[in-house]
Structure 1
Amino acid sequence: MLNKVQLNLLKQHVGPFLFCFFVLMFLLLMQFLMLHVDKLVGKGLPILVVIELILSNLAYMVVLAVPMAMLVSTLIAFGKFSEWNELNAVRAAGINPIRLIMPVLTISAILFVGTAYFSNYILPEANHKARSLFIDIRMAKPGFDLEENTFYEGIDGYTFLVKNIDTDSDTLREITIFQEPVEERYRAFIRADKGVLQSEGEQTLSLYLNNGSILRSIPGERRSEETMERTDFTRYRLSFDLSELAFSRTNPEDRSRTGRTMTAEAMKAVTDSVRREVNNEFEKFTERTEQPETIPFKVDRSSSVYRRSVTFENEELQPFDTSFKAANLLDHPQEQISVINLAVNSLNRYRADYESYKTNISWRETRIDEFWVEIHKKLSIPFACMLFVLIGAPIGILTRNGNLGVAALISAVILTLYFMAIIQGEKLADKGVISPFAGMWAINFTYLVIGFFLTLHVCSSFRITNLWGNND
């Protein structure tokens, strides 16, 4: 049962935690929009699609924001508790500060379980939907968005160049249009003094041109018979089908999944399958390169090649010394040369088989490492909820300052080192330099040791200098 002091300390966490959580979510959202705004602007996307894309990407922000908010709120709550001398009163009452940390640690353990579940089951689906939306958006062509003195090729078969655009009335001035030949339409060069854009529905756009000319290229039976036709007009209409420019949705389930769009169970099944492929490749390699214990070898001494190689100027050639012991056992030079050539050819075939085997295994091993990195990440980052309590509580007690600015500064240092280690660990693990476990958990164990010693420091008379100090 919690006492009043423990309940009060937990209540002091709620406000800072919620505040920091929503502030961090806002900052992560702004970062996302700044990185991807160029992919969304000029696509003519429905507002609901943009909202769905943002909501789908909020999932990964939650996994990052929860541990970060837990660190800041812990620093603030325990900093204020120590600043107001409540910690001294608790110690005077004979209560160990570890009893104050345990309820917060229990809540962080609950957050760890919840965030890990969210990271494993909800986040992959959100990532898959967001990835599918990004692909659909990338495949959508830009909208009909003309700019002054800039070539525009957003509509197939046409290139536009406009000198002046009146955005208030959709009036274009000094227009040049290059028309490519398509089906029954000839290649043409169109110029007009003025034009007006008018929408003829959601999928059709008309451009009414005034006072201009059309120069058409009319092909003959032979290329040399091509003729040019010039037509002047006072009013001319061009219609454009915008249906191909519209955004279209595809079913996310029709797209393949990556490590970040799969649960840990699904990734383990994939790694088991890839591991079986590795074993099969090894068995095939050993079968291809396996040699019998003895190789039958016989030289046809009646052949002209042999006779020329073993005799020279009526003198029989003698065996020569080589660095190969097996060749030195033979008493004819042709036999020695043949054996050496046979060995060299066998080694060349073995080398080719080995390089092929090495290439096939390498990308499979890399794929396994990438999947295991994602599996460990689903637990290592949520585990930071508990980790940051073990670090934040003693640091807050030692700083004796519950100011938001101080907590934010300390958190920035801790979080920067943490996520730098996570990012670098992921890169090294993906390349196979270190194991996926070490890449994702090394910083956690480092912080865990630091948090353990800091907690001992504030909860007992233990000092780290006692490990090597003199005890008289």
Structure 2
Amino acid sequence: MFIFIFQTIWLFIDDFAGKGLDIFIIGKFLFYLMPNLMERVIPLTVLLSSILTFGAFAENYEFAAMKASGISLQRAMRSLIVFVIFLGGVTFYFANNIIPISEQKIYNLRRNIAKVKPAAIISEGIFSDLEGTDMNMKVDRKYGEKDRFLDNVIIHEKSKSGVNTTVIKAESGELISSEESDILQLVLKDGHYYQEMVTKNNKEKLKNPFAMADFKTYTINKDLSELDDVDLNEERDVSTDKMKNISRLSKDIDSLKEDNTKLVTAFSKNIVNRMGAFITLNKPDSLTALSIANKKKERDSLGTVASTDTIISLYPEYQKMQLLSTAKTATANILTTIQGKRQELQIKYKIYRLHILSLHKKYALALSCIILFFVGAPLGAIIRKGGLGLPMVIAIVLFLTYYFIGVFAGNYAKEGNIHPIIGAWLSTFIMLPLGVFLTRRATADKGLVSIGSIIDYFKELIKKNSKTATHDN
């Protein structure tokens, strides 16, 4: 846990440094983050401890004494198997109940950090983008209680087109907030206000009109949720699935699937109606079909029926160009609509896949503890080494293999390249045959790889080849 917490500090060092956060807030964040780290800590702990324990037993000939007393490896592992199954149940409860609460606490801490310490969203000496707003701000110095007082404030405010049209400068400022209110007040003193005016025509634009005002006190009110620049999790917009337990995830998966199906169906009908194609026709009965076929033969014999490829040839030349232009414009508009809808659908289906992934990860985490025990315990009995040397190296290599397979599979599942269920279970199922193989080898008191049998196999193969060559000669 200490190793993963230390890694987390380095990952979020940019968010901690320069924000003026005290040690209590940082400690609270790390405390709330610890349950999330259990997804990696528990499997690694089970794997490492089982290798160390059984490796020390084998190194000190404890297993030899057990076998001499008629105690098999399975019997020696029985109590630990019961304990690991119990640990898997506790892990499942932890993943289903504690981790969602932890995620909610982290989310609330991020949102409320501006209430607890509003100056944390502003850094000294550089322009700080106020996420969710159209403003960025620079101050030379912060001081006072909770850094609420500011010196030499410069604010750039963007227009709807993303252009800096407003500049506000003030000699000093003060941040006023309350934990009971969602409004943050920025009171500026002794400053100037500049704004470029939007003109209706190019002639007026050439005059570069602007508005300027001096003020003694100027108050800006902003919603705290818009000023939440302390983003300690990049996936905050799509990570709400982690805040839900299995019951909630199951309900939301069904709801998301139904909503996505309705959205796609409505959009496809809209496109079909705009195209005027694929119109559903009533299926004619046998007499009607025969009558239509006879009429078609008669018209074909007279040469009065034109194919769809030659319909445009029936129109004059000037109308041909108009028809083609209209068709191209309509097709381009439909393609633009589809491209715009595609991004919306990708986001919605990604959220749907994330819910399925989170649901199955809770089950996979519990089962992985049991499987990794059956990987580590027989492996420790086979290598017959205790301590923190070779067992530590082997445990880290196996865990990194398990972890990175899970990460890559999860990323592929998020993007829809593989099914989310496969993404959640892949790393666990890869370790399952390894655990069965190692357990069988350890039960039969065999090494990890029987070098002697491999050498004997190649010797026999060489003898057969030499006999065949002699017989042919």
Q: TM-score range by the shorter chain?
A: 0.5 to 0.7
Distance 2:98 2:392 in 1: 29
Rounded Cα–Cα distance in structure 2 between residues aligned with 1:176 and 1:27: 42
Partner-residue secondary structure (3-state), 2:431? helix
Q: Give matches, 1:261-276, under 5 Å.
A: 261-276=243-258
Please tell me whether residue 380 in structure 1 is matched to residue 380 in structure 2.
no
Change (3 A) 1:73 1:331: same
Mapped contact 2:256–2:352 kept (Cα < 8 A): yes
Q: 2:49 corresponds to which letter in structure 1?
A: S
CA drift of 1:42 comes to 3.8
Q: 1:263 is aligned with what amino acid?
A: N
Deviations 1:309-354, CA, capped at 9 Å, x for gaps: xxxxxxxxxxxxxxxx99x948556844598569x98xx88x9599
Question: Post-superposition shift, 1:404?
Answer: 1.6
- CA spacing shift, 1:151–1:357, aligned 2, 3 Å: closer
Partner of residue 370, structure 1: 354
Task: Determine helix, strand or coil for the equivalent of 1:404.
Answer: coil
The one of 427, 431, 444 aligned to 1:443: 427
Structure 1 position 159, deviation (Å)? 6.0
One-letter code aligned to 1:118:
F
1:29 matched to 2:5: yes
Q: CA deviation at 1:430?
A: 1.5
Task: Could you tell me which runs of 5 or more consecutive residues in structure 2 were left unpaired when the two chains were aligned.
Answer: 143-150, 158-166, 179-183, 196-206, 229-236, 285-295, 315-323, 461-473
Q: Do 1:143 and 1:154's aligned partners in 2 also have CA atoms closer than 8 Å?
A: no
Question: What are the within-5 Å matches in structure 2 for residues 280-359 of structure 1?
Answer: 280-281=262-263, 284=266, 285=268, 289-293=278-282, 329=300, 331-332=302-303, 335-336=306-307, 340=311, 359=342
1:70 deviates by 1.4
Question: Which segment drifts farther, 93-102 or 43-52?
Answer: 43-52
The DSSP-based 3-state class of the residue aligned with 2:12 is helix
Deviation at 1:455, TM superposition (A): 0.9
Once the 2 structures are TM-superposed, how far is the Cα of residue 399 of structure 1 from its aligned partner? 1.3
**1-structure distance, mates of 2:339, 2:186:** 56
Which residue does the alignment assign to 2:60? Answer: 84
The letter for the 1-side match of 2:254 is D
1:411 aligns with 2:389: no
Q: What displacement does 1:366 show?
A: 3.5
Are the aligned partners of 1:180 and 1:188 in contact in 2 as well (CA < 8 Å)? yes
The alpha-carbon deviation at position 373 of structure 1 amounts to 0.9
TM-score of the superposed pair, with normalisation by structure 2: 0.61
Structure 1 residue runs of 5 or longer lacking an equivalent are: 1-24, 166-174, 182-186, 209-213, 230-237, 250-254, 296-324
CA distance in structure 1 between the aligned counterparts of 2:71 and 2:420, rounded to whole angstroms = 42
CA contact 1:142–1:154 (8 Å) conserved in 2: no
Alignment of 1:146-185 (within 5 A): 150=125
Using a 3 Å threshold, how does the CA distance of structure 1 residues 392 and 245 change in structure 2: closer, same or farther?
Answer: same
Q: How big is the alpha-carbon RMSD for the aligned residues of Structure 1 and Structure 2? A: 5.6
Q: List per-residue Cα deviations over 1:438-459 (Å, max 9, x = no partner).
A: 2222221221111111111111
CA-CA distance at 1:405 after TM superposition = 2.5
- 1:452 paired to 2:443: no
Cα deviation, 1:5-57, whole Å, max 9, x if unaligned, reads xxxxxxxxxxxxxxxxxxxx111111222222322344444654333222111
* Counterpart-to-counterpart distance in 1, 2:210 and 2:50: 84
Q: Give the structure-1-normalised TM-score.
A: 0.61
Equivalent pair of 1:204/1:240 in contact (CA under 8 Å): no
- Conservation of the 8 A alpha-carbon contact between 2:371 and 2:428: yes
From 410, 427, 431, give the equivalent of 1:426: 410
Alignment counterpart, residue 114 of structure 1, candidates 90, 104, 110: 90
Larger gyration radius, structure 1 or structure 2: 1
* 2:32 equivalent in structure 1: 56
1:40 is matched with 16
CA distance in 2, matches of 1:68, 1:76: 12
Q: Supply the distance in 2 between the matched residues of 1:278 and 1:189 (Cα, whole angstroms).
A: 48
CA distance in 2, matches of 1:279, 1:204: 44
The 1:267–1:356 alpha-carbon spacing in structure 2 relative to 1, beyond 3 Å, is farther
- Which residue of the other structure, out of 94, 105, 109, is the alignment partner of 1:129? 105
Residue correspondence of structure 1 range 97-108 to structure 2 within 5 A: 97-108=73-84
Structure 2 CA distance, aligned partners of 1:361 and 1:198?
44
Residues 276, 84 of structure 1: alpha-carbon distance in 2 compared, 3 angstrom cutoff: same
Q: What amino acid maps onto 1:52 in structure 2?
A: K
